Structure 1
Amino acid sequence: MKYNKDLDFFRAILIGLVILIHIVNFGNIYPDIKNAILAFFMPAFLVITGYLVNIEKTLRQFALYLWRIWLPYMVLVLGFAGLSLYLPVRDGITSFDVPTVLNVLFVKSIGPYWFLHVMMVCGILYYAAFRALPKLDITAKYSLFAALLIGVSLFTPLLDIHAAFYYFLGVGVRQYIGDFSRIYKASLCPILPFGLLIVQREYWGWGTIAMLVCVVSFLCFAAYFSSLTTGRTKQVIDYIGRNTFPIYIFHPIFTMLSKYYLPLFGFDPTGLLHAFVTVGVGLGGTLALALLLDRTRLSYLFGRKRILR
């Protein structure tokens, strides 16, 4: 797989949007903007994730990869589930019994951690399809992977077919093309079709062709901005992009805390200043927390020697 210098930039933008849409005040003031962001940024994240997953590993190595996702997923989902008993959380639980816990861990995750669940389910199917029958050609393996994704999506509650589709696309780019930069060209012009499509509510579904166009358009104009970024700013953005995992798992701490300092921004009815500060606090706070865990070696609680990359 050829290294792509734009991937970290893409992921930095996307993880900033993750924090933004989980700010309750921002979502309350701008529900349509929140939903428009939700429509494209997770599909883009899933394409990149599918591309980056490496199945050229031994079973033990791949099991370790899954364990390093599962352990923080389990800890944080259980923590989020516990908090939802006492806080007004969307899709929270009403009882903390064994069936409920097993359901939120293995079947239908709650909170922002569903993405990790998708990563594990798709990753297991990806590895099985490409490694179980090594003598098959690439197209046969890719077809088997598609069949597994479709079967699990249709006949179990473990996977949504639309999320599986974008992960599947990312895998296809890796297996058939190998160079992620070949699916887009750095240009500001794709911001025009992106803008025209993203404001149409009827196109916000992940199953629309329009959303696929939005994802590719985003990659193009984000790559354009990446080419303009240099020096220290570029280094900081790339560092954020390399460390999306700790930012993703820890950001709810800081979006929930943002409710407590919201009154300080009462002078700004737009809510944008509060949102801007919270995204900055979320990025800095999650990275600082990850650094603390690394320094104290508590990162082992999350199955990793180091959380930061």
Structure 2
Amino acid sequence: MQQRIAEIDYLKGVMIILVVMFHLVALDIAYPTVRMAVYTFHVPVFLIISGYLTNINKKPEDYGKSLLRLIVPYIVFESVYMVLLHSFGGGLNATLSIETLTLKDVAIRLLAYPVGAYWYLQVLIVCGIVYYLVFHFLKMANSSKFLLMSTIVYAIAYSVRHYEVVPIMAGSGFVWESVLFFLLGVLIRLSGIPFTKVFPASWFALIPLVILLSSRDHLFRGTLPGLFITLLIICFLLFAVRYIGNQGRSLLGYLGRNSLAIYVFSPLFVGASKFVEPFFRFDSTMICYAIVATFFSIIASLGCSYLSDRLRLTRWLFCSERIYY
């Protein structure tokens, strides 16, 4: 098993909290600018880390097994999520409700137009396949391989966007402005420079970060400022980690190790938490609701992953012996 990097687990822990919290529709309504800022960097950080950690130095059968650990949960949970959105409509997420859902619709969305948070898994699957095929089987310089890989995934992203088969809903993710962050992670890996050297811990990163975040025009991952925001937030968080104490680092590292399980299970609980939102109307800021709903969704997701391992469902849902760490 690949040795874990504590700093990366810490970053993943911070980002998975933000992913869960800002999938709450109530926060989107109450704090649209903050939501835009967080969406600029939270999943891009995950994509950079995923590109950096993807190990292509495996035999085809072993790499195929690692891909199945993404493909199977993507198919299962994206399908379940689509059925829930269709059955309960706006009750779960008004921005993603699906009026009609046929087997053809399910197949098309699974292949190209996922709805909700699971687009991240689709990006990992498609980029992972292209990455392995290009770098494992072709005989050319790494620079040429990287350019070829970038061209292929750009062509796929362009085709998905240009030849829109079904309406692209919020959350549909195989777009260039997302994919480029995975490619950035791959580029860092190819450089041979350790992750923490590429992103040096620095309080100074906070200054340009605040400047960039001050303009709504910068709050989009597809812009150059959006790219810099993502890079700067990594540098600043790696600096801030030294001030949160051992327990804080341990907790965030634990969440980071289990971030895949939280990412997969949490959309189901985030959607369900909307039904208890009326009980928090006493707090106009919606902060109490956000804290409780985020805590509930993360704990419930961790519980599901633990039970999945104990009941030996993980081998069917994730093609692995364990998902809880």
TM-score (norm 1): 0.94
* Paired residue secondary structure (1:56): coil
Deviation, structure 1 residue 250:
0.7
Out of 156-165 and 79-88, give the one that drifted further. Answer: 156-165
For 2:281 and 2:179, locate their aligned partners in 1 and report how far apart those are by CA, in whole Å.
42
Aligned to 1:113: 118
For 1:285 and 1:99, locate their aligned partners in 2 and report how far apart those are by CA, in whole Å.
32
Aligned to 1:11: 12
| Preserved contact between residue 4 and residue 181 of structure 1 (Cα < 8 Å) | no
What is the percentage of aligned positions where both structures have the same residue?
28
1:193 partner amino acid: P
Deviation, structure 1 residue 2:
8.3
For 1:91 and 1:277, locate their aligned partners in 2 and report how far apart those are by CA, in whole Å.
23
Deviation, structure 1 residue 65:
1.1
Aligned to 2:49: 48
Q: Deviations over 1:68-87 (max 9, x none)?
A: 11111111111111111122
Aligned to 1:141: 145
Q: 1:124 and 2:125 equivalent?
A: no
Choose which of 81, 93, 96 in structure 2 pairs with 1:91. Answer: 96
Pairing 1:274-289 to 2, within 5 Å after superposition: 274-289=289-304
Pairing 1:140-289 to 2, within 5 Å after superposition: 140-157=144-161, 159-289=174-304
Deviation, structure 1 residue 113:
0.5
* Paired residue secondary structure (2:283): coil
| Preserved contact between residue 75 and residue 110 of structure 2 (Cα < 8 Å) | yes
For 2:5 and 2:85, locate their aligned partners in 1 and report how far apart those are by CA, in whole Å.
40
Q: Deviations over 1:36-72 (max 9, x none)?
A: 2111222222111111111111111111111111111
Out of 216-225 and 156-165, give the one that drifted further. Answer: 156-165
Deviation, structure 1 residue 3:
5.7
Q: Deviations over 1:243-280 (max 9, x none)?
A: 11000011112212222322332221110111112222
Aligned to 2:40: 39
Deviation, structure 1 residue 178:
3.9
Kindly tell me the number of residue pairs found equivalent between the two proteins.
308
1:139 partner amino acid: S
For 2:30 and 2:183, locate their aligned partners in 1 and report how far apart those are by CA, in whole Å.
35
| Preserved contact between residue 85 and residue 97 of structure 2 (Cα < 8 Å) | yes
Aligned to 1:102: 107
TM-score (norm 2): 0.89
Deviation, structure 1 residue 227:
2.0
Out of 100-109 and 177-186, give the one that drifted further. Answer: 177-186
| Preserved contact between residue 36 and residue 199 of structure 1 (Cα < 8 Å) | no
Out of 183-192 and 45-54, give the one that drifted further. Answer: 183-192
Deviation, structure 1 residue 176:
1.1
* Paired residue secondary structure (1:109): coil
Give 5+ residue unaligned stretches, structure 2: 162-172
* Paired residue secondary structure (1:189): helix
| Preserved contact between residue 178 and residue 222 of structure 2 (Cα < 8 Å) | no
| Preserved contact between residue 4 and residue 179 of structure 1 (Cα < 8 Å) | no
For 1:69 and 1:79, locate their aligned partners in 2 and report how far apart those are by CA, in whole Å.
15
Aligned to 1:29: 30
Structure 1 residues 260 and 154: CA distance shift in structure 2, 3 A = closer
For 1:294 and 1:268, locate their aligned partners in 2 and report how far apart those are by CA, in whole Å.
38
Structure 1 residues 204 and 232: CA distance shift in structure 2, 3 A = closer
Deviation, structure 1 residue 213:
1.2
Give 5+ residue unaligned stretches, structure 1: none
Deviation, structure 1 residue 206:
2.1
Deviation, structure 1 residue 197:
1.1
2:263 partner amino acid: Y
For 2:264 and 2:77, locate their aligned partners in 1 and report how far apart those are by CA, in whole Å.
7
1:115 partner amino acid: Y
Q: Deviations over 1:113-149 (max 9, x none)?
A: 111111111111111110121x322212212212212
2:13 partner amino acid: A
1:124 partner amino acid: I
1:279 partner amino acid: T
Deviation, structure 1 residue 156:
4.1
Aligned to 2:323: 307
For 2:96 and 2:255, locate their aligned partners in 1 and report how far apart those are by CA, in whole Å.
29
Give the root-mean-square deviation of aligned CA atoms: 1.8
